[in-house]
Every structure is written in structure tokens, then in C-alpha cells.
Amino acid sequence: MNEPSGKAALMGVVVGGSLSRGVEVRLDASFPVEQVKVGGFVTIQGQANRFFAIISDVTLEASDSSLRAVPPDASDPFVASVMSGTGAYAVVNVLPQLTMSGDAFAMLSGPQPARSIPAHFAPVYAASEEDIRAVFGAEDERHIWIGSPLDMEGVRVCLDLAELVKRSNGVFGKSGTGKTFLTRILLAGILQKDVAVNLVFDMHNEYGWQGTREGGPGVKGLKQLFPSKVAVFSLDPEMSRRRGVSPDAEVRIGYGEIEPQDIEILAATLNLTPQGVSSVYSLVRRFGQEAWLEEFLARENREELAALADETSELFQVLFTLHRRLRTVGRMGFLMPKAPEDAVRRILEYLDRGIHVVLEFGRYGNDLSAYILVANLLTRRIHDRYVERMEQASGGRNQEPRQLLITIEEAHRFLTPAVAGQTIFGTIAREMRKYRVSLLVVDQRPSGIDEEVLSQLGTRFAYLLDNERDVDAVLAGVAGARELRTVLSRLESQQQALVFGHALPMPVVVRTRDYGTEESYREFGFRDAVELMRQAEEDGKDLFGP
């Protein structure tokens, strides 16, 4: 590793900089400045170490200030060639991230975090395919490739999925940038490599049987690609069947399963006052956990609510408003006085068998209250079971449960500074790997997420964000945040992401791999599933005609 790859192109030499701000590289006159892109990957050959770095900025400089006031006649090729690289030149700022020395021990241990910088005039090279492989490794039983570096089509950047699922992670970007496609890739990889089981709260029905894409045909969901390894649960089985999906289970929730904490997290969505939330606890004390909601909703006239106000010492107007707000919850079709079966027990049965669960919301995906209620309620109870199992395992009475990754969209609704301390999602994010449950949060407004929760996210996938507060939130607590901010702001509007965190050795900008074409399915190893689906389509045409 001490010598650069034979294919690497010399870009320039180090002329200054620092470890905190990055290294300044004077671009060689023969290297076109237009080929230097923010987010690109370079290597620097020091005297004893090789450095791996990411380009954070490019500037044009002049050795003589008069050149700015009176530029030479650049139309003359001779004058242009004389001035280029001498009187006028380009400076590239790069952030050293990793280093590797040439001794045998270092070769075995791999690249290490850079704690020094190369000396003046150290040569800088454009990264080669061998460099990328040395840093990010290759696909194996725990790695999956997620995309290619800038201007390096066909070169694969690999992600350590086994490390990814140990911590909570985030996929961020404004609408239309490709968050959902990347999330499908990550979920499919986790399933394929069997490093965890997924529980996906599928708000917009994108991950189960079939997803959508802008301006094109639908893409295959996890159930089509892994029919024996994925179960689709549905809150709205009627809509699922209209979409051609036969759900493996229908989810029904009893009134008695809804606890005050579930109503508290809905306060902003339902426009509840703190007094209203406090009244819920009074109702639970009056009627008991199992009966409070049914008993409260059954009181439909002012006289009954006035009597209840006297019994609970609550203000009538508070109870009246609370009753009106909670009636919208009571009208959700999946809620009933008593559920026919325990949804949590059924979900855990599938997860324990290594079958991944996608919960489709159907028409309730457009109801934010329904999504928040169900995701919070089920996650809280599943987390309680995991805590119990882990405690039993530590006592030698049971095996540890499988690592569980829970995917939630609109994450800022659950993790605002006001409620993150009380919600189960905030608890899971702060616990990290303690109980073998982690989160994959997908959101376009990271600035709405509590800072403490963001700081606990192990790996972040950041697409283009057009709000400065969102950019600051994504990069909060990250070394070199100021320089990476420039990188993030220069991403293309689709299919480009800045990826950094525990699951890969250093930050890197990638063009994420395709998802939705037959070629992409085959690259995932879905050849059998694709052939089976094609055969089924042909059989259908033979039976029913075109």
C-alpha cells in the first residue's frame, strides 16, 4: 500500500493545510480542473504512510494579483499554456480520513483513522478501483455494495451490514431524491445476508409487495423477491387485496391496548392540550387500562360527560374537547373493543422464525394519527418483549433474540425534542445495541429530530437537503462537519448520497445502485425469483389471454 496503483493519475502535490481544516493540494497543470469534483476520492502518498481523503472544495488562485485585474489573452494557446499552472493554478482542499503504513501488521489491520497529515509536496493521486477495494472491501457474507464513487462507474462501495444493524441509522433527503429506493436496497441486503430481521412500518405501501417510482412502472417489493422470507401484515386488508396482495395476517388492535403514552405522542397531531393528556391518566385510574377508552367513547352526550367530570375531578370543557378529539381515533377501522388475536405475539412469531415483517397501512397511511399510534404502540410492546428476553438470556434461561431493525418513516413525528424523551423510539435510539433492537429512520426533515437522538445514529445516508437547518442537523457532531457541509450541498438532486458513520471506514459520496430493473434484481441474486415471476406472467397470459 505504500506505492500508488499503476492506474492512478497524479493530481498534484500537498502545499499546506492542517489536520482540522484539511490539506491543500496544488493541482498539476496537466490535470483538468473540471474533472475535480467535490465528494471525489483521492489518495496521498506520504513518506511512510498512504492517506485516503475526500475532496471538500476547489478554488482558483493566481500568483500575481495583477492577473485578476488584467487577465492575459487566453485565446492565444501559447499564452494560456504558459500561464496555466504557473501564474494561474487551482487548489484542491481534501480531508484526510484514513491512513495505512506499509508494514505487515498494518496490512492485516486495515486502514486506520488519520491522526496526522502528509508533508509538503507529497504527491496526490485520483483514487483507483484498487484503492476503493482496499478501503471499503468487497461483497461477502456481511457486506453489500450500495453504489459507486463519483465518476467511477462500475466500482463498488461496500457497506458492513452486520455493523449497520447494531446501531440505529438514518436515511435523509428531500422528497424525490431516492430515500425509498436506498431503504429498499438496505432492507433487501439485510434480508439477503441474514444479519437481522426487519420490521417495516410501511406508511405508503412501498416495501411489501410492490413499490412505486416517479414516471415509471412499479418496482418489486420484498415479498415478491423473497416470498418465503417476508410476511406482509395489513391494517387495511381490503385495499391490500385490491392491489393484488394477499396479506399473511390482518392487524387489529383492541381499545384496551391503547395506553396514555400512546395518546401523549398524538398530542400535536390531535391538537390536545397538556390538560387533555393529563385527563387520559385520570380516565385510566377511573376505569382501568382495559376499559378506559371504550367507556369514555361510550359517553356521547354532554350530561354523561359532565357526570364523568365530577367523578374524575376534571374540567368538563377539557373532557368534552378530549372526547371530540378521540372520536377520530375510535373511528379507525382497525380498532375494536377487543382484538381477535394479539398482533404483537403474531409479529414476534414470524420474527423469531427469521421471517421479515412489513406492516402495510393501506388507506390509513394518509392518516398521520393512525401511523403514529400503531407504530408507537406495537414498537413499545415488542421492545418490552425484547427487554424481557434479553434479561432471561443474561440469566442463562433463554437464548438472545435475533437482532431486530425497525424501519419508520416520518421519523421527526416520533422524535421531536418535546416527545423524544418519552417515546419508545427515543429510548431505542439511546439504548444503542443494549437490547438488540435498532432503528432505521427515514425522513426529509432531520432538523425536527431531537439532537440527542441524531447523535446516537451510527450511520447516516444523506441525500440532497435544501434547508440549512436540515443540513446542520444531519452533520451535527461529525468530525469535519464544515467541510462535509460543502460536499452535501453539491449533491445532485437524485441518486447521490453522502454516506458516513460506523458501517463504513470513511465518508464517501456514492451514486446509489439501481433498483427496479431485471438487471438490478439479478445483481441482488434474485435470479430465481425473477424467472419464477416471468413464468407466472406467461402462464397468466396463456390462461387468460393478453
Residue 5 included in any domain = no
Q: Please report, rounded to a whole number, the percentage of residues in the chain having pLDDT higher than 90.
A: 62
Residue 343 included in any domain = no
214: domain CATH number?
3.40.50.300
Least confident of 89-93, 100-104, 330-334, 411-415: 100-104
Q: What is the mean pLDDT of residues 322-333?
A: 92
Query: Are 422 and 504 members of one domain?
Result: yes
Least confident of 225-229, 313-317, 480-484: 480-484
Question: Which cell numbers hold the place of 531?
Answer: 424467472
pLDDT confidence of residue 82: 56
Please check the confidence at residue 104 and state whether its pLDDT lies above 50. no
Query: Are 99 and 185 members of one domain?
Result: no
**Cα dihedral: 173, 177, 182, 184 (round 10):** 110
pLDDT confidence of residue 79: 57
pLDDT confidence of residue 541: 45
Identify the helix (H) or strand (E) that includes residue 544. helix 527-544
pLDDT band at 544 (very low <50, low <70, confident <90, very high): very low
What is each CA distance from 518 to 25, 216, 243, 522, 546, in whole angstroms? 43, 14, 22, 6, 21
Query: Are 543 and 482 members of one domain?
Result: no
Residue 345 included in any domain = no
Query: Are 433 and 376 members of one domain?
Result: yes
pLDDT confidence of residue 546: 43
Decide: 203 and 362 in contact? Cβ < 8 Å. no
**Cα dihedral: 136, 138, 144, 150 (round 10):** 50
pLDDT confidence of residue 379: 95
pLDDT confidence of residue 241: 85
User: Under 8 Å CB-to-CB from 423, ≥6 apart: which residues?
Assistant: 261, 265, 376, 414, 415
Query: Are 330 and 355 members of one domain?
Result: no
Query: Are 506 and 530 members of one domain?
Result: no
pLDDT confidence of residue 151: 85
pLDDT confidence of residue 421: 79
pLDDT confidence of residue 75: 67
pLDDT confidence of residue 516: 84
pLDDT confidence of residue 256: 93
Residue 546 included in any domain = yes
Which of 97-101, 167-171, 476-480 is most confident?
A: 167-171
Query: Are 41 and 126 members of one domain?
Result: yes
pLDDT tens per residue, range 175-195: 989 999 999 999 999 999 999
Q: For the chain, how many structural domains are there in total?
A: 4
Identify the helix (H) or strand (E) that includes residue 197. strand 197-202
- For residue 276, give the nearest of 233, 211, 329 by alpha carbon: 329
pLDDT confidence of residue 215: 65
Residue 149 included in any domain = no
Query: Are 186 and 292 members of one domain?
Result: no
pLDDT confidence of residue 117: 93
Query: Are 299 and 311 members of one domain?
Result: yes
Using CA atoms, how far apart are residues 97 and 102, in angstroms rounded to an integer? 17
pLDDT band at 240 (very low <50, low <70, confident <90, very high): confident
Residue-wise burial string across 270-293, b where 16 or more C-beta atoms lie within 10 A, e elsewhere: bebeeebbebbbbbbebbeeebbb
CB half-sphere exposure, 70, CA atoms < 13 A: 1
pLDDT tens per residue, range 106-129: 555 678 899 999 999 999 999 999
pLDDT confidence of residue 288: 95
pLDDT band at 518 (very low <50, low <70, confident <90, very high): confident
Please check the confidence at residue 446 and state whether its pLDDT lies above 70. yes
Question: Which cell numbers hold the place of 351?
Answer: 420474527
| 523 Rama class: left (phi>0) / alpha (psi -120 to 50) / beta | alpha
Decide: 257 and 293 in contact? Cβ < 8 Å. no
Query: Are 220 and 367 members of one domain?
Result: yes
What is each CA distance from 391 to 138, 340, 382, 386, in whole angstroms? 37, 30, 14, 9
pLDDT confidence of residue 258: 94
Mapping DSSP to helix (H, G, I), strand (E, B) and coil, where does residue 64 land?
A: coil
Q: Please report, rounded to a whole number, the percentage of residues in the chain having pLDDT higher than 70.
A: 89
Query: Are 166 and 212 members of one domain?
Result: yes
Residue 249 included in any domain = no
User: Under 8 Å CB-to-CB from 367, ≥6 apart: which residues?
Assistant: 332
Q: What is the mean pLDDT of residues 238-262?
A: 90
Please check the confidence at residue 535 and state whether its pLDDT lies above 60. no
Please check the confidence at residue 216 and state whether its pLDDT lies above 70. no
Residue 271 included in any domain = yes
Mapping DSSP to helix (H, G, I), strand (E, B) and coil, where does residue 311 land?
A: helix
Q: What is the mean pLDDT of residues 381-404?
A: 88
Least confident of 109-118, 145-154, 159-168, 517-526: 517-526
Please check the confidence at residue 513 and state whether its pLDDT lies above 60. yes
pTM of the model: 0.88
Q: Which of 72, 102, 136 is the last residue of a domain?
A: 136
pLDDT tens per residue, range 447-484: 999 998 998 999 999 999 989 999 999 998 888 888 89
pLDDT confidence of residue 536: 45
Decide: 51 and 57 in contact? Cβ < 8 Å. no
Please check the confidence at residue 432 and state whether its pLDDT lies above 80. no
Residue 146 included in any domain = no
Please check the confidence at residue 540 and state whether its pLDDT lies above 70. no
Question: Which cell numbers hold the place of 2?
Answer: 505504500
Using CA atoms, how far apart are residues 450 and 447, in angstroms rounded to an integer? 8
Decide: 214 and 166 in contact? Cβ < 8 Å. no
Query: Are 452 and 487 members of one domain?
Result: yes
**Number of residues written out for the chain:** 546
Please check the confidence at residue 63 and state whether its pLDDT lies above 90. no
Using CA atoms, how far apart are residues 541 and 521, in angstroms rounded to an integer? 23
Q: What is the mean pLDDT of residues 511-537?
A: 70
Q: What is the mean pLDDT of residues 404-424?
A: 88
Q: What is the mean pLDDT of residues 488-505?
A: 93
- For residue 475, give the nearest of 177, 182, 172, 183 by alpha carbon: 172
Q: Strand order in 230-234's β-sheet?
A: 157-160, 143-149, 508-512, 496-501, 459-462, 169-172, 437-443, 404-409, 197-202, 356-360, 230-234, 249-250
Domain that holds residue 29: 10-136
